[in-house]
Structure 1
Amino acid sequence: MHSYAPHDFSELARLAPAGFSAVLRVRRGRAAHIENCYAQSWRDTYARKSYFLRDPAIGWALSHDGVACWDSLAARDPNGVIADAQAHGLCHGITAATGDAETRSFCGLARADRPFTAAERDLALAIIARLHAGAPGAIELTAAQREALRLMASGERHARAAGIIGISASALKARLKSARAALGARTTAEAVHAAQMRGMI
């Protein structure tokens, strides 16, 4: 599916028991890979409130290398993203970022129990640097999977989308399921977003 080492993501999960989100090799507004392991309630809130556009940690990550504690970014957070994250149990967070002016990779990591140690911050940066330096990994979707995702992105319901392309609703659902698996997405909405971020649909 992709060439990123699963143990790197496992190591990030161990570092961040409250969750993490790694966005790898962003170029021209598109990511080669996104690994989001935050709780679904936070993911839903983040999407519903369009925090991606206003998150001070992402703004910082797009123009800095290193590690920033979320508390240090609070002055850049007029929309209350960090306070909302804390209300969702992401009490102590960091963002690790690396790259150059054309291609960036970054990862937000959170804990509920205590701040990250200096060694943990260094390890997070080393992992994101390793992931950034690695091959971007090709995620392949078939033409049929891309078509199914495009129809979902346009707001079609399963039955109507299946009728448009001349297949059964169960066949459409099978295509969407395989597309979710290829993209590492839990839901069709996440798969649509991931495919859009990669320029696949």
Structure 2
Amino acid sequence: MADIGKIKTLLESVEKLAVSGSAIAFHIKLTSPELMFQTYPKAWTDIYSEKGFVMVDPIVRWGFTETGSIRWSELSEQDEQNILMQSATYGMTYGVAIAVESDNSRSMAGYSRPDREYTDAEISQLTQCTQSLHELTTAHDGMDAELREELLTLASNLAR
């Protein structure tokens, strides 16, 4: 059983660094995550969903093909739909994408802030938190209903 207290503490840590919001997709199977935590501004997530940006998002594309971390600014040349520029109008001017994988399970995250690029130390901290969250939410036999409900409640409490 996952330690909900540790998960909550890690999520609170990343939210302190992701002052404009974050999205963490855990244990992606094909194209769907087993669990999603998202704190990006609702106005942005509505537009993102309405326009189907997930299909062309350079952050998502990178997260499916790579592991590690990359600043959003390094993905700008791959952003044909200007998603990153559009997200900046909602306070998500700078960000980092992180993808981790273990035991044939992949999780990816996007963290954002309005004021400056993330430092290497902050990226390292976010990467460690993402890896720990990935491991803490791993259920080798699938996530049981009780754990899923606890995590979904936690996710909704963190949503903005």
TM-score by length of structure 1 reads 0.67
Q: Do the aligned partners of residues 77 and 57 (structure 1) sit closer, same or farther apart at CA in structure 2, a change above 3 Å counting?
A: same
* TM-superposed deviation, 1:88: 1.5
Equivalent residue, structure 1, for 2:127: 125
Provide the C-alpha distance between the structure 2 equivalents of 1:101 and 1:45, rounded to a whole number of angstroms: 34
Provide the C-alpha distance between the structure 2 equivalents of 1:51 and 1:126, rounded to a whole number of angstroms: 27
Secondary structure in 2 matching 1:62:
helix
1:22–1:106 CA contact under 8 A, matched in 2: yes
How big is each residue's C-alpha offset from its partner over 1:148-189, in whole Å with a ceiling of 9 and x where there is no partner?
A: xxxxxxxxxxxxxxxxxxxxxxxxxxxxxx9xx658448xxx
Provide the C-alpha distance between the structure 2 equivalents of 1:110 and 1:102, rounded to a whole number of angstroms: 27
How big is each residue's C-alpha offset from its partner over 1:59-100, in whole Å with a ceiling of 9 and x where there is no partner?
A: 101111111111110111101111111121111111111115
One-letter amino acid of the structure 2 residue matched with residue 140 of structure 1:
A
One-letter amino acid of the structure 2 residue matched with residue 93 of structure 1:
G
Equivalent residue, structure 2, for 1:79: 81
* TM-superposed deviation, 1:29: 2.5
> Which has the greater radius of gyration?
1
Equivalent residue, structure 2, for 1:13: 15
Of 19, 25, 28, which aligns to 1:26? 28
Q: Do the aligned partners of residues 17 and 135 (structure 1) sit closer, same or farther apart at CA in structure 2, a change above 3 Å counting?
A: closer
Query: Any runs of at least 4 consecutive aligned residues in structure 1 with deviations exceeding 3 A, and if so which?
Result: 1-4, 181-186
Tell me, which stretches of 5 or more residues in structure 2 are unaligned? Answer: none
TM-score by length of structure 2 reads 0.83
Q: Do the aligned partners of residues 18 and 9 (structure 1) sit closer, same or farther apart at CA in structure 2, a change above 3 Å counting?
A: same
Q: Which has more strand, going by share of residues? A: 2
Equivalent residue, structure 1, for 2:43: 41
Q: How large is the RMSD of aligned CA atoms in angstroms?
A: 2.7
Of structures 1 and 2, the one with the larger relative CO (CA 8 A, separation 6+) is: 2
Of 51, 54, 65, which aligns to 1:52? 54
Provide the C-alpha distance between the structure 1 equivalents of 2:100 and 2:155, rounded to a whole number of angstroms: 23
Tell me, which stretches of 5 or more residues in structure 1 are unaligned? Answer: 142-177, 187-201
* TM-superposed deviation, 1:102: 3.8
2:8–2:154 CA contact under 8 A, matched in 1: no
